[in-house]
Amino acid sequence: MKTKDLFPIALATALVMSCASQDKTIDKQDVLRKLSLEDKAHFVIGTGMPGMSGDHAVIGATKSLVPGAAGTTYPLDSLGIPAIVLADGPAGLRVDAHRKGDKRTYFCTHFPIGTLLASTWNRQLVEEVGKAMGEEVKEYGVDVLLAPAVNIHRNPLNGRNFEYYSEDPVVAGKIAAAYIRGIQSNGVGTSVKHFAFNNQETNRMNNDARISQRAIREIYLKPFEIAVKEAHPWTVMSSYNKINGIYTSESKDLLTTILRDEWGYEGTVMTDWFGGKDGAAQVWAGNDMLQPGKAEQFMSIVDGVKSGRLKEADLDRNIIRILNLIEKTPSYQGYQPSNKPDLQGHAAVTRQSAVEGMVLLKNEDSTLPLASKATDIEVALYGCTGYDFIAGGTGSGNVNHAYVVSLLDGLKKAGYRVNEDLHKQYAKYITQRKAEIEKQQNAAAKKDKKKAMLAKFMPTPRPVEMSMEARQLERQARLSDVAIVTLGRISGEFVDRKMADFNLSTEERRLVSQVCEAYHKVGKKVVVLLNVGGVIETASWKDLPDAILCAWQAGQESGNSVADVLSGKVSPSGKLTMTWPVNFADAYSSRNFPIDKAPDLSLTNQGKAGNGEKDVDYTDYEEDIYVGYRYFDSFDKAVSYPFGYGLSYTKFDYTDAKINAKDDVINVTVSVKNVGKADGKEIVELYVAAPDSKRLNKPAKELKAFAKTKSLKPGEAETLTLTVKTADLASFDADTSVWRVDAGKYQLLVGASSRDIKTTLPIDVKARETKVHSVLRPMERFNILKRM
């Protein structure tokens, strides 16, 4: 059905506009009066998605406003209400770089992945990245960026952890809020996602996350709550999965009772693409917009109103929220995008931001930084990834960027000499291996076109590491001054990482061992560089190299950013936002995670019956609130690297820590002094240890605030203030649906990591309670039709 067939031209007067281009408003009640039931049902559904047909029938056709965008809203052309454009994703805008019949290019900046941005612990820096990203969104004609992604790192193998920020809700929420503020400062919107409990990719569209009300409130919803209250995102995206038996996009408890009634959210809620099953139930629950738009959703809404199972008032409410969104977008306000964002300036932003999130895991005998005069050093570069750097993850988190600076190129630009014989050997090997992989993929694509289409969103297999002969290694060790071994990992949508991806392969383990042996024999150092999106196993081999730098996936300027750190141009100041376990099985959630399960690659498989398979059709979150360091630290479990850990090229002293409490606000001040020989920044973490409670178990400690110093010169100090509200000390009592702060003596722990506490400050706190709704009860099978 075409929009122009729905409305007479005369209805254009339905809009009430001011003359000022940035003050156009919509008379929403007048629009509602002029829409039929069918028109209303169309309006709350997107316009479709390219390449989807047949059993994936979608409403209308995608408006080719910005090629490569994820979707648009449904336009009401004769009412003067345009379609607005929605596009991915967290590491930068994802639109087509090339357009048919157009010689110009539309590349976007690939910024660092979410895990790296969070590892900066620097909210001001993340906000600046958001500002740059938002400028590209606006200048390329997009209205809403489908980001940030703030789900919790429940398990190291989650395929989309690279998009997410942390295992800790405070880190995730605060970083997300900064990101949102930066992007929305451009007058474009964000969509905080995936709301909520999207902690695995395996069967993500049908998996039932079974979680206690306490863990729901304290762990999985808390980062969303912080982001919503502190940054006011224009939209929230509901997730694919179920929560305690109900699809999140059909959960009124989640989308209305908690999000709107308790948190005060006033924006628009949209589904993830093809999310949910029942259109009428989604509208009733408060899911305002259904993307990208399916025919069965349209029929469900229309039939629901006609049968009385859905009130038309609920549909009207959602339409008004969508109109509120459209009203403030650049598309509605008449902004003419230039298609010329400042890509050069943004490249500098991504290069600078990336260095602050890289984490120095090991640095024996000051192996790093490398000697100050680069031209005096020849580097032997081992590992395929050093020559073929990974900028970020795949799927909706990918960016169509113009280039990626490899480690090889970054080192050369910094003035280092790179062993050319080794370079040529790797170049030949990588070319051959990639050709073989492409051939295999093309053969598979001919057999299954549907899977071939989805394969474009999935990680391409990486070449197996090349074997090295002992005599060759000995020769290279004599000729080169230092060895850098790069290990790479890539992940993305649709599929979780495998155990083989968490552990080093046989070839990788052999490479690290042989290089370390050869170079140490002649008194040379070895650096291992991790070009990864998430946690890998390190405990079994980390004693071998002299230094380990986790560079994450740093975007298109990766090689330059890494070179800035290796050379000492910038001292690393990132810290881990997740615990690195000794073994995968040490993570509590490893008992309830779909390890090495085959992915379901269907885009629209909601409602699939399944066979009741554990961790696939349902996942029991048995660890409850004991996620990440809350488990490892509470039960004294050994780790490879603790939460909040990260080294620097300098050292810091913490002194003069004090508490200043007034009313319901607790301020902790601490002086941080650079006592080393290099400039550097330090991150200070404030944890709280609660007194014993008769009603609730409490973790050994929980992060409540953090702050980062400016760049301090040797001998320079800065006093930081970390603020905690008394309400932030509460735990959720599911039996009474109360956020409860127990009276007693709390310990405020000022630390450099969760296991490096510098100062402990006691404080007496009075009891307080805040009553909330008892919703999202575990395992309760609500009858939605009866409640509508």
pLDDT of residue 786: 40
Are 223 and 275 in a shared domain? yes
| Domain presence at residue 596 | no
Instruction: Please identify every residue annotated as catalytic.
Output: 272
| Domain presence at residue 338 | no
| Domain presence at residue 607 | no
8-state DSSP, 58 = B
Where are the alpha helices (H) located in 448-536, listed in sequence order?
449-455, 470-479, 499-502, 506-521
Structural domain containing residue 654: 650-771
Domain end position, chosen among 552, 567, 586: 586
| Domain presence at residue 630 | no
pLDDT of residue 52: 55
In angstroms, the CA 748 to CA 750 distance is 7
Side-chain-side CA neighbours of 554 within 13 Å: the count stands at: 36
pTM confidence score: 0.94
Relative to beta strand 547-550, strand 618-620 is unpaired
Domain end position, chosen among 566, 586, 606: 586
Are 363 and 280 in a shared domain? no
Domain end position, chosen among 333, 362, 396: 333
Are residues 486 and 479 in contact, defined by beta-carbon separation less than 8 angstroms? Answer: no
Where are the alpha helices (H) located in 414-467, listed in sequence order?
420-447, 449-455
Are 312 and 439 in a shared domain? no
In angstroms, the CA 179 to CA 28 distance is 31
Are 113 and 223 in a shared domain? yes
Are residues 393 and 160 in contact, defined by beta-carbon separation less than 8 angstroms? Answer: yes
Domain with 669 in it: what CATH number?
2.60.40.10
- What number of other Cβ atoms are within 10 A of residue 95's Cβ? 23
Domain with 183 in it: what CATH number?
3.20.20.300
Q: Which residues of the chain are modeled with pLDDT < 70?
A: 1-22, 50-63, 450, 600-605, 607, 779-788
DSSP one-letter string for 402-416: S----HHHHHHHTT-
In angstroms, the CA 487 to CA 473 distance is 18
| Domain presence at residue 187 | yes
Q: Which of 705, 118, 703 is nearest to 357 (CA)?
A: 118
pLDDT of residue 56: 45
pLDDT of residue 608: 73
| Domain presence at residue 601 | no
In angstroms, the CA 504 to CA 640 distance is 15
Are 670 and 569 in a shared domain? no
Are residues 405 and 389 in contact, defined by beta-carbon separation less than 8 angstroms? Answer: yes
pLDDT of residue 54: 42
In angstroms, the CA 505 to CA 527 distance is 18
Are 148 and 191 in a shared domain? yes
Are 228 and 200 in a shared domain? yes
Are 281 and 427 in a shared domain? no
Domain with 357 in it: what CATH number?
3.40.50.1700
In angstroms, the CA 82 to CA 68 distance is 18
Extract the tokens encoding 218.
């304290």
In angstroms, the CA 304 to CA 310 distance is 5
Q: Starting from the edge strand earliest in sequence, which strands make up the sheet with 378-382, in order? A: 359-363, 547-550, 525-531, 482-488, 378-382, 417-418
| Domain presence at residue 51 | yes
Are 159 and 239 in a shared domain? yes
Are 310 and 359 in a shared domain? no
In angstroms, the CA 519 to CA 403 distance is 33
In angstroms, the CA 309 to CA 255 distance is 19
| Domain presence at residue 113 | yes
Radius of gyration of the chain measured on its C-alpha atoms: 26
Number of domains in the chain: 3
Are 141 and 98 in a shared domain? yes
Are 270 and 370 in a shared domain? no
Q: Which of 239, 163, 162, 161 is nearest to 206 (CA)?
A: 239
